[in-house]
Chains A and B, each alone.
Chain A
Amino acid sequence: MATVAQSAPAPLPAGVSLWRWGLRRLLRRPLMVVCVAILAVVVAASIAAPWIAPYSYETIDLALGPSPPSAEHWFGTDTLGRDLFSRCLYGGRISLAVGIVGTLVSLIVGVLYGTVAGYFGGRTDELMMRFVDLMYSLPYLFLVIILLVFFSSSIVMLFVALGLVQWLTMSRIVRGQVLSLKNAEFVQAARLAGSRPARIMLRHLLPNMIGPIVAYATLTVPTVILQEAFLSFLGLGVQPPQSSWGTLINDGAGVMGLFPWMLFFPAVILAGVLFSLNTLGDGLRDALDPRLR
């Protein structure tokens, strides 16, 4: 968050990379440490779900039905008597996987696209960025909904549909960075030394843009997770008996008056993760910005 008071500008110590220095600065802020801790716990628990989940996520216990949180079922059980804690853990695997894969797609496509457009400039740039403008003006979430309704809503389809759109902003950011860097002296030197464009892009431009790229990627993960939850809420995400945080919230919202815990736990987890990622992304952007030294 931009609100946390910036620490006084410290000179960059000799022999410390921008990276390590930025991380050090980031971790000096208590809020950031809390966010890292929240994420670490949730991610570790989700990955370890098959080993630490006390129950299967699909075992139905109709005799038990919906029961409030207890020693046997920490988060209670849902209307079909399934253990909510286990379902939240397994749901985390899917929500996080969607967020990470969607971000990776956006990272790869967006960085390549933006670098090429910015580096070559002129006609190429004009054309490529016009295409981005065009894509921007599509009501894409509607197209995603149509895509998911008309073709079965498999997880792969979800990955493709969400990743395909997220790269637009990334490509704009990267292009802007390239434009401001490509006439720098070190790039000219590399060009004079006979480096080919691909090498200049990968070896000289990319390392210098890593800060903004990482910061924006961190902000993309919560966006994608949120969109998956949004689609799941409409019944288009993962299909039962599988769960994601979005489907769990959807299930819980319907019976909130009777069994509030079914909404409470998944909602708190989702909000906590989104909050941590948003806060970390903002923090990283500040911490990796050399101008804020």
Chain B
Amino acid sequence: MIRFVLRRLLFSIPVVFLVATTTFFIMRLAPGGPFMSERAIPPEILANMQAKYGLDQPLLVQYGRYLSNLLRLDLGPSYKYPDRTVNEIIAEGFPVSLQLGLAALLFAVAVGIPAGVLAAAKHGRAADHIAMALVSVGISLPTFVIGPLLVFVFSLTLYWFPPALWGSPSQLVLPAVTLGLPYAVYIARLTRNEMVEVLQQDYIRTARAKGVSEAGILWRHARNGSLLPVVSFLGPGVADIVTGSIVVEKIFAIPGLGRSFVESAFSRDYTTVLGTVLFYAVLLIAANLVVDILYRRLDPRIEYQ
């Protein structure tokens, strides 16, 4: 177990390094820079600004300096907001994105798993067909269609929830549902398909023969086995939610990390872009690791390599 975790952590070092290097050179080899603006800056001032941030040095020197700062977890100052560091920007934006993502995840699991279990219990009957038809429609609706539609219905027509911004619990509802819905339908489908298989296993028949109630079979005996694919989907799912939150934060004008990433990319704020991408990379690696550990916990047949 510990060896497994250590091995995975070791493997993640080159990943982070690769992300840092690719991002660094993509940005630097592209034309333009953070101090380009519509108003031309006098060349002396521009030179001073570049000198201040070390942008006048050779590229490889800058790269080396960036890496050595990275080792000390210092992501550098933002070029766009001179009074703020990238660490501060992430510390401000991430909690917002995290709340949004967790709420979406909660919604997805709370809706997806029961829906899938119920569909499996009614396997082959009308309720099953209806649920699965809804699922295939849901999978085909991208976040940026769901979001505006929800706003249209629940904000502009019914006035139930505010259409945008952040801060109060009622402002969390629509973004979280938007972000979680595609995920919920996917979980429902996975749970249902796996549950249908599990329900045909011998140990379920034994439980039935012993006189365990249908509900007891569904929620106690069959549950663990059918959770496996859902858990393994959580890894890529977290990645989807992270990228999805870029769009959702844009739709609902939420001051999260996704939005500041896109803004910094457009304003060529080198350090903020790099810092955010690295942060996301580490986040994804951690999420995948947690999922793998959970997976092995749930299925004792899997061994730690």
Q: Which residues of A contact B (CB under 8 A)?
A: 1-3, 5, 133-134, 137-139, 141-143, 145-147, 149-151, 222, 226, 229-230, 233-234, 246, 249-250, 252-253, 256-257, 260, 263, 267, 270-272, 274-275, 278-279
Task: Check A139–B239 contact: CB distance below 8 A.
Answer: yes
Closest-by-CB residue of B relative to A232 is: B144
Interface string of B240-275 (1 = CB under 8 A from A): 001100110011000000000110011010000100
Task: Check A257–B156 contact: CB distance below 8 A.
Answer: yes
Q: Which of B18-26, B95-103, B206-214 faces chain A?
A: B18-26
The distance from the CB of B35 to the nearest CB of chain A, in whole angstroms, is 15
Query: Is residue B220 within 8 Å, beta carbon to beta carbon, of the partner chain?
Result: no
- Distance in angstroms between the alpha carbons of A1 and B137 in the assembled complex: 11
Cβ–Cβ < 8 Å partners of A141 in chain B: 243
Q: Which of A2, A142, A260, A272 touches B152 (beta carbons < 8 Å)? A: A260
Q: Which of A1, A146, A229, A260 touches B27 (beta carbons < 8 Å)? A: A146
Task: Check A249–B32 contact: CB distance below 8 A.
Answer: no
Task: Check A147–B140 contact: CB distance below 8 A.
Answer: no
- Distance in angstroms between the alpha carbons of A145 and B189 in the assembled complex: 30
- Distance in angstroms between the alpha carbons of A3 and B30 in the assembled complex: 49
Main SS at interface, chain A: helix
Cβ–Cβ < 8 Å partners of B30 in chain A: 150-151
The distance from the CB of B156 to the nearest CB of chain A, in whole angstroms, is 5
Task: Check A147–B148 contact: CB distance below 8 A.
Answer: no
Q: Which residues of B contact A (CB under 8 A)?
A: 11-12, 14-15, 18-19, 22-23, 26-27, 30, 32, 124, 128-129, 132-133, 136-137, 139-142, 144-145, 147-149, 151-152, 156, 189, 193, 239, 242-243, 246-247, 250-251, 261-262, 265-266, 268, 273, 276-277, 280-281, 284-285, 288
- Distance in angstroms between the alpha carbons of A222 and B281 in the assembled complex: 25
Task: Check A5–B22 contact: CB distance below 8 A.
Answer: no
Cβ–Cβ < 8 Å partners of B14 in chain A: 134
Q: Which of A1, A147, A253, A274 touches B251 (beta carbons < 8 Å)? A: A253
Q: List 23 A-B contacts (CB under 8 A).
A: A1-B132, A1-B136, A134-B18, A137-B12, A138-B18, A139-B280, A142-B277, A146-B26, A146-B265, A146-B277, A149-B266, A150-B26, A150-B27, A222-B140, A229-B144, A234-B246, A234-B247, A249-B145, A263-B152, A270-B145, A271-B137, A275-B139, A278-B139
Q: Which of B151, B250, B265 touches A256 (beta carbons < 8 Å)? A: B151
Q: A137-B285, A256-B152, A271-B140 are in contact. Are A149 and B247 (CB under 8 A)?
A: no
The distance from the CB of A217 to the nearest CB of chain B, in whole angstroms, is 18
Minimum-distance CB pairs A-B, first 7: A150-B30, A3-B132, A275-B140, A274-B140, A253-B148, A149-B265, A267-B145
- Distance in angstroms between the alpha carbons of A105 and B123 in the assembled complex: 39
Task: Check A139–B18 contact: CB distance below 8 A.
Answer: no
Cβ–Cβ < 8 Å partners of A263 in chain B: 145, 148-149, 152
Task: Check A142–B261 contact: CB distance below 8 A.
Answer: yes
The distance from the CB of A38 to the nearest CB of chain B, in whole angstroms, is 11
Task: Check B144–A230 contact: CB distance below 8 A.
Answer: yes
Cβ–Cβ < 8 Å partners of A234 in chain B: 246-247, 250, 262
Q: A146-B277, A234-B262 are in contact. Are A137 and B142 (CB under 8 A)?
A: no
Task: Check A139–B144 contact: CB distance below 8 A.
Answer: no
Q: How many A-B residue pairs have CB under 8 A?
A: 123
Closest-by-CB residue of B relative to A225 is: B142
- Distance in angstroms between the alpha carbons of A280 and B13 in the assembled complex: 40
Q: A141-B243, A142-B277 are in contact. Are A279 and B26 (CB under 8 A)?
A: no
Task: Check B273–A146 contact: CB distance below 8 A.
Answer: yes
Cβ–Cβ < 8 Å partners of A137 in chain B: 12, 15, 281, 284-285, 288
Instruction: With a 10 A CB-CB cut-off, give which of B22, B27, B124, B142 has the most chain A CB atoms.
Output: B142
- Distance in angstroms between the alpha carbons of A143 and B30 in the assembled complex: 14
Task: Check A229–B142 contact: CB distance below 8 A.
Answer: yes
Task: Check A230–B148 contact: CB distance below 8 A.
Answer: no
Cβ–Cβ < 8 Å partners of A138 in chain B: 15, 18-19, 22, 281
Closest-by-CB residue of B relative to A141 is: B243
The distance from the CB of B20 to the nearest CB of chain A, in whole angstroms, is 11
Closest-by-CB residue of B relative to A147 is: B26
Task: Check A257–B23 contact: CB distance below 8 A.
Answer: no
Closest-by-CB residue of B relative to A1 is: B136
Cβ–Cβ < 8 Å partners of A150 in chain B: 26-27, 30, 32, 265, 268
Cβ–Cβ < 8 Å partners of B152 in chain A: 256-257, 260, 263
- Distance in angstroms between the alpha carbons of A147 and B29 in the assembled complex: 11
The distance from the CB of A42 to the nearest CB of chain B, in whole angstroms, is 13
The distance from the CB of A103 to the nearest CB of chain B, in whole angstroms, is 17
Task: Check A271–B145 contact: CB distance below 8 A.
Answer: yes
The distance from the CB of A160 to the nearest CB of chain B, in whole angstroms, is 13
Cβ–Cβ < 8 Å partners of A134 in chain B: 14-15, 18
Instruction: With a 10 A CB-CB cut-off, give which of A3, A230, A233 has the most chain B CB atoms.
Output: A3
Beyond the given A5-B124, A253-B144, A274-B140, please list 19 additional residue pairs across the A-B interface where CB-CB is below 8 A: A1-B133, A2-B193, A134-B18, A139-B277, A142-B243, A142-B276, A143-B19, A143-B22, A145-B262, A146-B26, A149-B265, A150-B32, A151-B30, A222-B140, A234-B262, A246-B144, A249-B144, A249-B145, A271-B141
Instruction: With a 10 A CB-CB cut-off, give which of A133, A150, A250 has the most chain B CB atoms.
Output: A150
Q: A134-B15, A275-B136, A275-B137 are in contact. Are A142 and B251 (CB under 8 A)?
A: no
- Distance in angstroms between the alpha carbons of A234 and B244 in the assembled complex: 11
Instruction: With a 10 A CB-CB cut-off, give which of A229, A230, A272 has the most chain B CB atoms.
Output: A230
